[in-house]
Structure 1
Amino acid sequence: MGEEGVRAGSGATPLFILSFRQRDELAALAGGAGWQVVAARRAAGVERRFLASGAAVAVIDARGALTDGLAGARMLGGAIEANGGAMLVLVSRGDHDAIGTLYEAGATHFLSSPFGETEFIQALRYAARHAARMAGEWRATGVVEPLGWRFDLAERSVLLTPAFARLLDIEEQPGRNALLRHVEPAERGSALAALRRLSPARPTTAFAHDVAGIGRVVQHLHYNAVTRRIDALIEPLGSTPEPTAELREALAGARDAGSARRWIGRRLREGGEVPLYAMLVALNRFDMINTAYGRSAGDTLLRGALKRIEDAVRDVLGREALISRLSGSSFLVAARAPRTRIELAAERIAGELARPFVAGETIAVLGCRIGVALDQAGDEAAVLLRRASEALADARDSDSATVRVAEPSGAEAPIESLAVALHHAIERGEIDILFQPQVSVSSGAIIGVEALARWEHGTLGTIGADTLFAAAARADLEIALSDHIQRITLERAATWPAALRGLRLSLNLTAGDIARPGFADLFLDRVDSSGFPRGRLTLEITESGLIEDLGIAAGLLSALRNAGCRIAIDDFGTGYSSLAYLKALPLDYLKIDKKLAQDITGTARDRIVVRGVIDMARSLGLTVIAEGVETQEQLELLAKEGCQVYQGFLCSEAVSVTALEALMLG
């Protein structure tokens, strides 16, 4: 088979083979069994070639080429899972220790050498059956990462999925007895009986039991007579009223790929006047960070990336949108929405993921590429997701476009409109400023406001500060936007009516501001020129704006504080939290992130976390401000824990000066 392979024909099932050695026997074996093979010997462009092949099964021959095989698996993992496919990896007998890593990269099946023709063809059939089940909406776990295990009868070894190992707090390769101990003694008999029922004549069975921290589960068992392995997929039937932190992570709001495909399939069958969009998001440089700093750092990055995507999607597309964590470092977002909102969501996600992450003691800058597709008449979920995967492959191949949209005509278009339009919006003065009240918990009086930028876009509607600055960063307009907002905010606050003249004004500084030479003098001149008193000004810095150079940040904030301003650290608890910031910086206020503040009405564990943050801040002499307070219950619990100031919809959304004056007088 040549390097470019053969395009799958309509008369046979396509099969994609990636082999890094001059081995044609695999193609010959598969071709003899009726498969139409598309073969490749390089990892470059492998994702695009797999998608173009039309195959549902990919074979990666990693025998004697484990590093190349792992790289290929990572490149294909997101496309395999998004499209409901299967990945069979061939490994040398001495490379069994790498199976867990290959599994994390997206592999679904393994075959160890030496093997014969019959074993290889049988392994292909099992992989194809898996792909058919996925396409037929077989999975129903609804978890971000699969909960399950594999038992190799030949080697008498057990391998747990990472999520299940974390949940049970045991190693991924425990002894058999260690796993059995997590089945209640009264139910071990039924578990062992289910295992004994498995045979070549009866390869599948199931049994139910309780697991501490999850509740009732069903274990679906499958026996592979060729590989002599038992695979178990665990389906939670319910959870305890107060699940563990590990379970909340495993059963997070994001769906798994199979559940996501079913959701998309239902929406396509239901139809609607508004188109359904599928968006695939792939992190850049994740494998490099994961390799350099280890799996723990990689897991932290993935959790942080998922949270940023969730926050962006909920803000722009609402809670009806679907969010799914795929294998590797890829994510899926789907929603029925006008194209303008989808473009806005893509911009927001790209901006959020471009901000630095913390990996151990190191700052990681990842970024992403995004592929988007909209539904067409007669689409099924697999077809829509394949088009999104092709758009993502185009975005990855592009030197400049972060986002690609697969147009109905088949052409892909980059999304650049928001960043370009922002430049004109600044010039025309279209960016407006609203003020959200900050309220004393003890007295109920409005004591200050936070200035928040808004842009009423002609087609995209209202665009908030987070999306504005994300677009500005991509268009290299972050400093220009920050200068514009600071200038107009100070000018307006200096001319407030009498009812507002006792309020403190909170103004956000960006990472770009902190890094600018001479910014303290420049900013103070701007304040004095406006006429607004320094003593009533609070400058808010997000942790993401501090982490790149803590020394520079500390020097700048000290200069501003000595000049009469007060300093707040914003969004504390969003994943960057470090005691180093609280120890090194001259702070007056600590603002608890809205998600953390809202969690106080959750479990006892949530309340303990919030209490710990408040106690730590107050012991350092900081005033604690809670953001995003929406209910009286949240406020009462925050007050009980010692929070002194709050802002959120419970009092008011961000409003104009006229509406703010009415609130004060009322």
Structure 2
Amino acid sequence: MTGWHGEDAARQRALFLLSFRQRDELAAILSRGGWHVVAARRAEGLRQRVVASGAAITIIDARGAVEEGIAATAELAQIAGHGDALLVLLSRNDSARLGELHDAGATHFLVSPIAADVLLQAVRSAERHVVRMGGGWHDPHVGGGAALGWRHDGERGTLQLTPALAEATGLPELGSSRAALRTIGQAGRRTALTAIRRLRDTLPATAFAHDLPGVGRVVQHVARDPHTHRLHALVEPLARIGDIGAAVREALGSVRDLTGARAWLDRRILAGERPGVRMLTVAGIDAVNRQQGRGAGDTLLRAVERRIERAVRDAGVARAALARLGGADFAVLLPHGADAGLDTALAQALARPFVAGSVMVTLTLQQAFGVARVGEDGGALLHRVGSGLPGSTAGAAQARRPLDDVETLATEIHRAIDRGEIAIRFQPQVHLLSGAIVGVEALARWDHPDRGELGAELLFAAAARAGLVEALSGHVQQRALRIAAGWSAPLSHLRLSINVTAEDIAHADFADTLLARADAGGFPRDRLTVEITESGLIADLGEAAGLLATLRAAGCRVAIDDFGTGYSSLAYLKALPLDYLKLDRRMTQDIVGTHRDRVVVRGVIDMARSLDLTIIAEGVETVEQRDALATEGCQLYQGFLCAGPLTVPALEKLLA
């Protein structure tokens, strides 16, 4: 294996990276900084891999994995040569462990948040340490027999394998890339070639997963040398893990809105079940809106929702789902009808005072319960139970029923579209590492002449009742594209994400229609992301996959929105050509929840990353959530921590 790293060492230095959560992002930053990066996500075989890499600098990303980081540091310190550098990245919350890491053998430290330029400066400092202390690059041949890796020379058409990889696969150490590709089958070839084609100056490193005969499931970490254009790869065997799908389906039963609630109930009724509904109306939010503003009221509603979720979970109601119907109205959906003791648990949970802005408030909860009758669909069940809600407290006006709202508003949708009452707001999407705003999601609002601003959930629920979802969706897309095409220079680099519905996707000509809307408005296709809202059900995933592939071929990107809110999540991931996965806000909140919550979220993130999907977390409200998501490997976020949905002038002011 002569020449594995040796002939390139003078041009590009070797660096080993171990990151349990953000391997790909860090590898890309370091590769762009001129380093030949050998990156790993797991610590198995760490010594052999570091020695095989020929690196005198090792970065251990211990953010969110401090115990594993300390163990890895101690292991590598035992084999580090004189002058080698061990740079450890640490979460701010774990900064008290710096002494332990120093004792374990770390030579350099960085504490989060860590910007890309700061990381590169730290690596340069580590490089100066190596030179100053008389260190040097290791001989990659010493102890390297256990490393699995390869190097491809495009000019010569040759593929060099490490001895361990050659032995495991039965391939010669020096052979052709075509012969190697034949061993991994058609699906593996497609995955490998797709990933490698992504490599370019702005993306010098990538990774992809596939099954490798003789080894099992692996992740290949591939980097392109910017000078020779040769490809170098480390092949990382994956530990066998159980199917996390069952855990995801069990833990993520929430649905988003009235439309999703009806679909959830209809599926169970069609399956022969008799689901139940507990309808909830929370009184007291309006007073907070009047006294402290809508922002305080929205924050209070999110706190109410979290308490309801926790009460349902603590009551042990299996497979229950929670839907926000609009305003302060919620529905707990119960697959088996029974909910013994849930009414008491909910009443007790919401009886405790809430913090609203600068004051403590006590809210009043009203409940009604019902089970599906023979011949009754989900919509009828919701309407019947909603009609049975008791009135408000004495002396107050009768509480407005959520489904009465929908029925009334459904008659006004045509007027709203014709009179221009549908407004577009833009919520920023932020890069977790750099803090830069890189895109926005377009969100619809109804500027109702009598009721003020109404949210998208109530708006689309009314459109669904009126049979105008497609008309409303098209109107919102057209308006968002036209507005974004006229953005001023400070906004001209942002990506625009627009939502499409299952009704949109059901039309075979939808891709052409959407592209025509973008072209007519003058918005660039390559800055457009199409988000599939998962509260709708795509009936034919095969046809949807073809349609979305057409959009991707035209330069658009595709995201699955609110991942985890519907039963079809895992089917979508397997069947649809996707670029982004958006974590539902409930999953975002779970990242700082119980150990079980964190395990599920971590599993979903790992699964998405293995599919080369960029992960966007929705509903990030606290620094704690943001930092935990960054630690777990999430790349982007949106939520009130940065900003809520904004008008264009407000967005320009935020970027300025």
Scaled by the length of structure 1, what TM-score is found?
Answer: 0.44
Scaled by the length of structure 2, what TM-score is found?
Answer: 0.45
